[in-house]
Amino acid sequence: MADGILRHGRLGMGTWCLGDRPETRSEEIAALRYGLEQGITIIDTAELYGGGRSERLVGEAVKPFAREEIYLVSKVLPANAGRRRLEQSLDASLKALQTDYLDMYLYHWRGSTPLQETVDALEAAAAKGKIKSWGVSNFDLEDMQELLEDTDGGGRCRTNQVLYHLGSRGIEVVLKPYQDERGIPTMAYCPLAQAGGLRSGLIDSPAVRQVAQEQGVSGCQVLLCFALAQENMVSIPRTGKLAHMKELAACLQIKLSDEQLALLNRAFPVPERRVPLDVE
């Protein structure tokens, strides 16, 4: 798509829960800055996270870096996604992030506001230069179909951010293929299985342990490398620990072999039929 999020790489940084605790703030900032120094320029946050604390943390973390080198993503809550409140929420996010624009603004999940109204508000924000592009989050197939096929301007959606990891591959049945056919990248949150109802047994599974041993890496790195191997996808793991950020950044230099990917695919296959969108 014209937006070009994939031009900024396949690895970004999530910020859920970051900024919530004053005693960990310095390390969280250090972790984000380390990621940026390693070329991980996509940072994902939301007005929901800590009631704005995450956005303020990100705003502080990116200060030493040139704005044009960073790809900032934030999200609007469903309650604020109408014509009367979206711009107000956006302005609050811009102030917290200490920037004049967002590279991507996402509708966090679908609420009661008519979808056309939300699209119109997002398009208006783009016309004013406050956002370069917009997308959605936690949209299942029918939501994406309505957005792209029945909504004026919906075709300018540039991503759908959904939960995805080795143990939660339901989007591969119908949702991701639908988006791939239309050139819409998927943003994968929780690629380390930090959430989701299908996460049990991943790290300690024989397949993950075998690949980790063969590569000389951790189980978490195997999970992230699996996600990074997926086409048309950006993965946004979250950490506030500097040591863990170094571990994640190292994945940029790790490539799983075809045999290793096949082993993981056999151990954790795509569901045979469509399943509900995994969200928590």
Instruction: Supply the residues annotated as catalytic.
Output: 49
Residue 174 one-letter amino acid: V
HSE toward the beta carbon, residue 219, CA cutoff 13 A: 13
Residue 160 DSSP label: E
Bridge partner residues of 74 (DSSP): 105
Contact 256, 158 (CB under 8 A): no
Q: Can you point out the beta strands (E) in the chain?
A: 12-14, 42-44, 71-76, 104-107, 134-137, 157-163, 186-189, 233-236
Is there a contact between 278 and 193 (Cβ–Cβ < 8 Å)? Answer: no
Taking Cα atoms as reference points, which of 192, 179, 187 lies closest to residue 234? Answer: 187
Write the burial class of residue 85 (CB in 10 Å: 0-12 exposed, 13-18 middle, 19+ buried).
middle
